[in-house]
Amino acid sequence: MSKVKKIVFLTGTRADFGKMKPLIEVVENNPNYEAHVFVTGMHMLETYGYTLIEVQRCGFKHISTFNNHTDEATMDLTLAKTISGFSEFIKTCTPDLIVIHGDRVEALAGAIVGSLNSILVAHVEGGELSGTIDELLRHATSKMSHIHFVANAEAQSRLEQMGELPETIYTIGSPDVDIMFSEELPNLEVVKTYYDIFFDSYAVAMFHPVTTEYKNMADYATHFVTALLESKKNYVVIFPNNDLGSRAILETYKILQASDRFKIFPSIRFEYFLTLLKSAEFIIGNSSAGVREAPYYGIPTINVGSRQANRVVLDSIINTNYDASAVRAGIKKLPTLRIKKTEIFGKGNSAEAFMASLELESFWTTHHQKQFKTL
């Protein structure tokens, strides 16, 4: 009988957990594997909803926690602390594979720890483009990883341009699409009742800091809030991530508390968020949800600023600068959009494709000594 393989999933935010949850579940339910979830980052912060609870609600057998928080302005120290904590963890867990996602410092820490300890590292959704330091982190994480689970052929092509071997790249789509069209999503009334949202019509607002522009974030946030207030629409507002500049955004959001047109939440459960998004008038801000999930539902997006630059160009996305007048103009353009739903990030079978990859003998014989393929 072959040895049960241990697979560690490292999650640092509500966003990457939503992406990896289908992958964790398919591993958890397979007797040939043992899933471990290492929870750190924003999950551990009460200000942002203490979303460790959402991970625990899933009932996974092996959940470990680590508080890596240092200070908003010290991503480098957060990286160092995460490396230290995760390194101690893998010495006791001894995994066969580490799975990380995206472009956060926690993902980079997982890749560094795994690669320097000769443990296979699989990076989910590498090869993507964005307009900020996120892209630097994502590509660095890819180069420190041995295996890549990408969303589409374009992402695979970019990784190959970076010298990654084609045989180490598996195109499985974006795992959150598995959840987006699940029959287990709650209905809208359940979600509205749970979060006490009384709007008949509303938009979703999510505005994250851009670390390379953090000195301007207070000004950007003021313009964003001004545009929302002047639009006269209803909004479900969700806190930003905890990157450098988030405090300025949270301070500005206090202005919204005086208006009954805004419901503000530190975090919303991923499945509940998807239900809200699916029924929203539009999504506004600079969240990746506006350029990935929203187009799948045919929901228009007003994408503000540079955070999602270079991602995708779709008819459902209106790009604006940070100025309040530009954002207002974007809102006014919404009725003119002709929206066509897209499937550029997969068809909702990522977990199945992920497991099929794990079942390949060649997957587990991937060489720990990386090679660079010259085009």
Angle formed by the axes of helices 75-93 and 105-116, nearest 10°: 40
Q: What's the rounded mean pLDDT across residues 350-359?
A: 98
- Tell me which residue of 159, 170, 177, 124 sits closest to 16, measured CA to CA: 124
Q: What are the DSSP E strand ranges found in 114-270?
A: 120-124, 147-150, 169-171, 203-206, 235-238, 262-265
Residue 6 in this model has a pLDDT that exceeds 70: yes
Q: Would you state the pLDDT for residue 1?
A: 39
Higher pLDDT, 3 or 131: 3
Q: Would you state the pLDDT for residue 48?
A: 94
Q: What's the rounded mean pLDDT across residues 326-341?
A: 90
Confidence label for 135 from pLDDT (cuts 50, 70 and 90):
confident
Region at 187 (left for phi over 0; alpha for psi -120 to 50; beta for the rest): beta
- Tell me which residue of 262, 261, 265, 283 sits closest to 274, measured CA to CA: 283
Q: Would you state the pLDDT for residue 228?
A: 98
Q: Would you state the pLDDT for residue 337?
A: 86
CA distance 12 to 267: 14
Residues in the chain: 375
User: What would the DSSP string read from start to end of 273-328?
Assistant: HHHHHHT-S-EEES-GGGTTHHHHHT--EEEESSTTTTS---TTEEEE-S-HHHHH
Q: What's the rounded mean pLDDT across residues 73-98?
A: 94
45 CB neighbour count, 10 Å cutoff = 16
Confidence label for 250 from pLDDT (cuts 50, 70 and 90):
very high
- Looking at the DSSP assignment, which residues form a beta bridge with residue 203? 235
Q: Would you state the pLDDT for residue 267?
A: 96
Angle formed by the axes of helices 188-195 and 270-278, nearest 10°: 120
- Provide the percentage of residues in the chain whose pLDDT is more than 90: 88
Is residue 244 within 8 Å of residue 276, measured between CB atoms?
no
Domains in the chain with CATH codes: 5-180+348-364 (3.40.50.2000), 188-336 (3.40.50.2000)
- Tell me which residue of 228, 188, 192 sits closest to 207, measured CA to CA: 228
Please tell me whether residue 71 adopts helix, strand or coil conformation. Answer: coil
The mean pLDDT value of the chain amounts to 95
The pair of three-digit structure tokens given for residue 103, joined into one six-digit string? 């472009």
Q: What's the rounded mean pLDDT across residues 344-360?
A: 95
Q: What's the rounded mean pLDDT across residues 158-187?
A: 96
Residue 159 in this model has a pLDDT that exceeds 90: yes
Angle formed by the axes of helices 270-278 and 14-28, nearest 10°: 110
Confidence label for 132 from pLDDT (cuts 50, 70 and 90):
confident
Confidence label for 276 from pLDDT (cuts 50, 70 and 90):
very high
Q: What's the rounded mean pLDDT across residues 118-131?
A: 93
Q: How far is CA 7 from CA 94, 119, 121, in A?
A: 9, 10, 10
Q: What are the DSSP E strand ranges found in 163-265?
A: 169-171, 203-206, 235-238, 262-265
Higher pLDDT, 3 or 163: 163
- Provide the percentage of residues in the chain whose pLDDT is more than 70: 99
Confidence label for 71 from pLDDT (cuts 50, 70 and 90):
confident
Residue 342 in this model has a pLDDT that exceeds 80: no
pLDDT digits 0-9 by tens, 198-245: 999 999 999 999 988 989 999 999 999 999 999 999 999 999 999 889
Helix (H) or strand (E) holding 76: helix 75-93
CB neighbour list of residue 192: distance below 8 Å, 6 or more residues apart: 198
Among 88-97, 124-133, 230-239, which stretch is predicted with the lowest mean pLDDT? 124-133
Q: Is the pTM of this model over 0.75?
A: yes
Instruction: Sort strands 120-124 and 147-150 into parallel, antiparallel or unpaired.
Output: parallel
Is residue 94 within 8 Å of residue 71, measured between CB atoms?
no
CA distance 318 to 260: 27
Q: Would you state the pLDDT for residue 210?
A: 93
Is residue 375 within 8 Å of residue 157, measured between CB atoms?
no
Confidence label for 73 from pLDDT (cuts 50, 70 and 90):
low
CA distance 36 to 18: 16
Exposure of 252 in the CB half-sphere (CA atoms within 13 A): 25
Confidence label for 252 from pLDDT (cuts 50, 70 and 90):
very high
